[in-house]
Amino acid sequence: MQWKALALTFLVKHGLSQSLPMMRFGCSQLVVDRLDPLVNPGSIPSPHLHQIVGGNSFNASMDPLTHDLPTESTCTSCTFSEDFSNYWTAVLYFRARNGTFKRVPQFESEGLKANGGITVYYIPSYDSRSTVTAFKPGFRMLVGDASLRTPGTARKVCHRCMPASGDNSNLNCASPDTQTLPTGFCVGGIRSVITFPTCWDGKNTDSVDHMSHVAYPSSGASDTSVGASGTCPDSHPVKIPQVMFEVMWDTRPFNDKDLWPEDGSQPFVWSTGDKDGYSQHGDYVFGWEGDSLQRAMNARCNGDVCSELKVQSPEEAMKCTKPAVVKENIDGWLTEIPGMAVVT
Ligand SMILES: *[C@@H]1O[C@H](CO)[C@@H](O)[C@H](O)[C@H]1NC(C)=O
Ligand SMILES: *[C@@H]1O[C@H](CO)[C@@H](O)[C@H](O)[C@H]1NC(C)=O
């Protein structure tokens, strides 16, 4: 099991004696659609394409005051059937020499069975004596910036050029991971990791930029560490579970020298119209039923088995899909990426 190896890596890195439990589970594709209820609520279409997983109440508006995800959803594409949250990221495209674009397929992370989508992590506090406070209904947050075209400070969003198998170590965006897309062939595809903050202001379930109500720890943990470790700043004193996304892009069909640009550059482009990779981002809208997430965190559940939670089979989770609202061609060889006339 790769995630065990991964947990072990954290143990070594942080010198802890007890094991660090982390929930890690698959969420199959719900839909690929040009909607963004967090940054562009009500916009049909939103500026760029996303791949979305989780509860099927996902839609363009999701008013935090009235849209109750567990009540409005009839299924979820995630393993834990009480999790009607929504999780989404940008989508990757391949640009051919003739300038046309093709959507890069996704595949499931090692050890899991899913139809593409996102592998989701919830990591409780490193310290087994303290607990984290689960999110409240209406809670949402964003990591990354779709308009970013330079390194910036978004060190929690990164890519890894994956070997054929067996490399799930260090999901902390440290070397060899990069903010830019890998520059060479990746025999195991490209992994994109997005790590959310672990400190909350204790009051606001959202903020204007969808970021400032949460913060990364101010001390006790390096900027690149994973897990709810470190000291929360006074402004954001409440420890929340660390949410993390792992997304696998199957770039293997494009590993052909004759398909890549003749100038030696790499051919992948995010659906934001970004050819370098800085603009990948992750959005989260909390939607766990009742106190299920709090119970799972208190029980320090590990992997995709948790005695506190109801589980559905991957086959059942894969059945939860919904039709795209925005009717446009997102596959085939496209003359432009949906909504993005220009690549920068
Ligand atoms: C989204 O879902 C809510 C709850 O079902 C509904 O009230 C709202 O009209 C929907 N919005 C859109 C844009 O479909
Ligand atoms: C563009 O290139 C791709 C990949 O080589 C090819 O499959 C496609 O047919 C080409 N499209 C045109 C219009 O030439």
pLDDT tens per residue, range 102-157: 999 999 998 899 999 999 999 987 777 778 999 999 999 999 999 999 987 656 89
Domain ranges of the chain: 1-338
In the predicted structure, residue 16 carries a pLDDT above the cut 60: no
At which residue do the structure tokens 């008013």 appear? 63
Share of the chain above pLDDT 70, in %: 89
- Taking the CA of 98 as reference, the closest ligand is 2
Average pLDDT over residues 324-339: 97
Specify the ligand 2 atom closest to the Cα of 99.
1
In the predicted structure, residue 15 carries a pLDDT above the cut 90: no
Residue 61 CB–ligand 1 contact under 6 Å: yes
pLDDT at 217: 87
pLDDT at 293: 97
Higher pLDDT, 171 or 3: 171
In the predicted structure, residue 7 carries a pLDDT above the cut 50: no
Say which residues have a Cβ less than 8 Å from residue 15's Cβ, sequence separation at least 6: none
Predicted confidence (pLDDT) per residue in 260-269, tens digit? 999 999 999 9
Q: pLDDT class for 172, splitting at 50, 70, 90?
A: confident
In the predicted structure, residue 230 carries a pLDDT above the cut 90: no
In the predicted structure, residue 197 carries a pLDDT above the cut 60: yes
Q: Can you point out the beta strands (E) in 14-74?
A: 23-27, 29-33, 50-54
What is the torsion angle, in degrees rounded to the nearest 10, for the CA atoms of residue 74, residue 76, residue 79 and residue 84? -90
In the predicted structure, residue 165 carries a pLDDT above the cut 60: yes
Q: How far is CA 183 from CA 133, 144, 160, 186, 323, in A?
A: 40, 21, 10, 9, 34
Pair 241, 223: CB distance under 8 Å? no
In the predicted structure, residue 175 carries a pLDDT above the cut 60: yes
pLDDT at 174: 82
Average pLDDT over residues 299-326: 96
Partner residues linked to 193 by β-bridges: 158, 246
Pocket test for ligand 1, best of 35, 38, 61 (most atoms within 8 A of CB): 61
How many whole angstroms separate alpha carbon 318 and alpha carbon 280?
A: 25
pLDDT at 99: 95
Average pLDDT, the chain: 90
Measure 334 CA to ligand 2 centroid, in angstroms: 9
Predicted confidence (pLDDT) per residue in 34-85, tens digit? 999 999 999 999 999 999 999 999 999 999 999 999 999 999 999 999 999 9
- Taking the CA of 96 as reference, the closest ligand is 2
Measure 339 CA to ligand 2 centroid, in angstroms: 20
- Taking the CA of 62 as reference, the closest ligand is 1
pLDDT at 153: 66
Under DSSP, the state recorded for 252 is G
Q: pLDDT class for 179, splitting at 50, 70, 90?
A: very high
pLDDT at 229: 62
Pocket of ligand 2 from Cβ distances under 6 Å: 96, 98, 100, 259, 333
The answer to which of 6-20, 96-110, 319-333 has the lowest mean pLDDT is 6-20
Higher pLDDT, 221 or 307: 307
DSSP string, 181-239: PPSS--TT-EEEEEE---EE-SS-S--TTSSTTEE--SBSS-TT--SB-SBPPTTS-EE
pLDDT at 196: 94
Q: pLDDT class for 5, splitting at 50, 70, 90?
A: very low
Partner residues linked to 151 by β-bridges: none
Neighbours of 299 (CB within 10 A): 14
pTM: 0.93
